[in-house]
Amino acid sequence: MQSIAQVQNVQKINAVSTGKVVNEKSMMVWRPHGNKMFETFSFLPPLSDADLGKQVQYLLNNGWTPCLEFEDPAHAYTDGHGNSGLDSSINTNYYDNRYWVMWKLPMYGCNDPSEVLAEVKACVKAFPNCYVRCAGFDNIKQVQCHSFLVYRPKLDPMEGGARDVADRQI
């Protein structure tokens, strides 16, 4: 019987690449500008309407009330905003300007994700240069249980817009 080493020609692979084409993605550098992440799923490519509908259905299945909020790029990201003089970064678990403008009222009694998606489209039409997020509120515990970004403005990343997923690293 042959040993495994004789049967397989195992090649040692270095963990770090310094320019080989085969490992070009193993040493990526995160772009520090125009790469702001918000809420759940913001690191992913934009969700389709079908994917958004599934997330809204998740909110509804848990008995949470959907609510839409929007904010312009200058105020949507909380790092460094506020007038308190305190360290208002997300990392400190205290930050000013975490509240966005509410789009209409919370959607009490909503039981169809298409109603929420229609309101998302209306909000984007009215405020195309703003971020839009959907939050799910528990009316018994009186807390926000889930929140996710449903729209990013089509702006240059250096002006508050989102980078394409493929352009987030170099």
Measured on CA atoms in the order 36, 42, 44, 47, is the torsion positive or negative?
negative
Region 76-104: mean pLDDT is 62
Looking at residue 105, its pLDDT comes to 94
Whether residue 53 is contained in a domain is answered as yes
| Spatial separation of the C-alpha atoms in residues 134 and 120, rounded to whole Å | 8
Whether residue 115 is contained in a domain is answered as yes
Domain encompassing residue 65: 49-72+100-167
**pLDDT tens per residue, range 114-131:** 999 999 999 999 999 998
Whether residue 143 is contained in a domain is answered as yes
Whether residue 1 is contained in a domain is answered as no
Looking at residue 73, its pLDDT comes to 82
Count of domains in the chain?
1
Whether residue 35 is contained in a domain is answered as no
Q: Is the pLDDT of residue 54 over 70?
A: yes
Looking at residue 85, its pLDDT comes to 57
Whether residue 56 is contained in a domain is answered as yes
Question: Any idea what the CATH number is for the domain that residue 113 is in?
Answer: 3.30.190.10
Mean pLDDT for the chain?
77
